[in-house]
Amino acid sequence: MHTLIEKLQEELAFQLSASSNRRVVVGVSGGADSVALLRALHFLQDQLQLELYVAHFDHHTRAGQSAEERKWVEELVKQIQLPVRIGKIDIDGDFSEEAMRQFRLDFLIETAQEFQAAYICLAHHADDQAETVLHHLIRGTGLQGMTGIPARRVLSEHLTLLHPMLAVRKSAILNYLESISQEFCVDSSNRDLRYTRNLIRHQLIPLLNKLNPQSVAHVLQLSHQASEACDYIQGCVQKLFESSVISIDREMVRLDAGVLRDAPVMMTRELFRLVWEEQKWPRKKMTFTHWGNLARFVREDQVRIDFPAGIIARKRGEMLTLERRLREH
């Protein structure tokens, strides 16, 4: 049995062990990674008692290439006789990478709801994990950012997002596809060095591998250790959150500054990350420096400090408020 099949089987047996609903939506772009995931899941379908559905999102980009990929995916799915749902962007515009990711996720969630699936599976792998950790490190991040892509992310009470190939290297994916004589599409935009992730993939990682052939493995090891540490820290942060929050609503959070001052700086910093997450405030432009400034704000004499996305921190006596103010047009 191929190593990709073995690792995927082991991961999904663990992730699905307590689930009676094994309907799974597989996100398939047509690229090597998602095609390998689809073919491997199809191979394991009976053994793991899976009910598979395919979702493909057409971005309407790259001078017609995305339309060709859509047709290619439809043909592949037809060959292996699985249901498929095709999505597309319904509005015109030049969208950021983050916006495109959100469009795709929204489509995947809608597809899962339509098929009453309990899981969405995506094909991010070990090399993607290393790139993500390096990207976060370059941008500026804390310990949480070093954990990279989570293997499991609960989207709602009835829907979970899984990344079951995070232990699989890209080389193993390509080897698996070759072993079953499976073709795949090549996205030309993956070579565009205007994108930071492509610079990391095609220039930084090869340079790191010259310095040490085990560099990617070491980054992955660091990510795993960071994940273990964060699991412990998050339990402590949750207790701090419960003891320090005075009130919370859609636009404003009121905190007890006295409680926060008594906590370690690192715990205070992680508490603010949790607040952003709970409030669903944008975090992409929040760097490690921003989080540090906010933690120090608790202990210093400042009365106001501004952060990206219109978020304002104010302090009056022992009351610290965080408020998001959207720009008025």
**pTM, two decimal places:** 0.81
Question: Based on the structure, what is the number of domains in the chain?
Answer: 2
Q: Is the pLDDT at 93 greater than 70, yes or no?
A: no
Tell me: do 165 and 72 sit in the same domain. Answer: yes
- Is 178 in the same domain as 245? no
The tokens for 290 are 């921003």
- pLDDT tops 90 at residue 26: yes
Residue at a domain's end among 211, 232, 249: 211
* DSSP H/E element including 169: none
Give the residue with greater pLDDT, 97 vs 149. 149
Is 190 in the same domain as 291? no
Q: Domain containing 35 — which CATH number?
A: 3.40.50.620
Q: Where are the alpha helices (DSSP H) in the chain?
A: 3-15, 32-44, 65-80, 97-115, 126-139, 170-179, 196-199, 205-211, 215-244, 257-261, 265-279, 288-297
Cβ neighbours for 29, distance < 8 A, ≥ 6 positions apart: 56, 57, 69, 73, 185, 187
Based on the fold, state whether residues 43 and 192 are members of the same structural domain: yes
Beta bridge partners of 255: 245, 320
329 lies in some domain: no
- Contact assessment for residue 137 and residue 97, using Cβ atoms and an 8 Å cutoff: no
Residue 120 reports pLDDT greater than 90: yes
Are 202 and 230 members of one domain? no
Least confident of 36-50, 73-87, 189-203: 189-203
On the question of pLDDT at 101 being above 90, the answer is: no
Amino acid at 162: L
How many angstroms separate the Cα of 198 from the Cα of each of 27, 133, 205, 251? 21, 14, 10, 36
CATH of the domain at 289: 3.30.465.60
pLDDT at 44 over 80: yes
Tell whether 179 is covered by a domain: yes
Residue 96 inside a domain? The answer is yes
Query: Is the pLDDT reported for residue 293 higher than 90?
Result: yes
> Considering 211, 238, 272, which residue would you say is the last residue of a domain?
211
Residues 227 and 201 in one domain: no
Tens-digit pLDDT profile for residues 257-289: 999 999 999 899 999 999 999 999 998 889 889
Same domain, 235 and 313: yes
Question: pLDDT over 70 for what percent of the chain?
Answer: 95
Residue 329: per-residue pLDDT: 38
- Whole-number mean pLDDT of the chain? 92
Say yes or no to pLDDT of 63 above 60: no
What integer is the mean pLDDT of 214-229? 95
The residue segments making up the domain with residue 313 are: 220-324
Angle between helices 65-80 and 32-44 in degrees, nearest 10: 10
Tell whether the torsion through CA atoms of 70, 72, 76 and 78 is positive or negative.
positive
Strands across the sheet containing 245-248: 245-248, 252-256, 319-324, 311-316, 304-307
Q: Are 185 and 72 in contact (CB under 8 A)?
A: yes
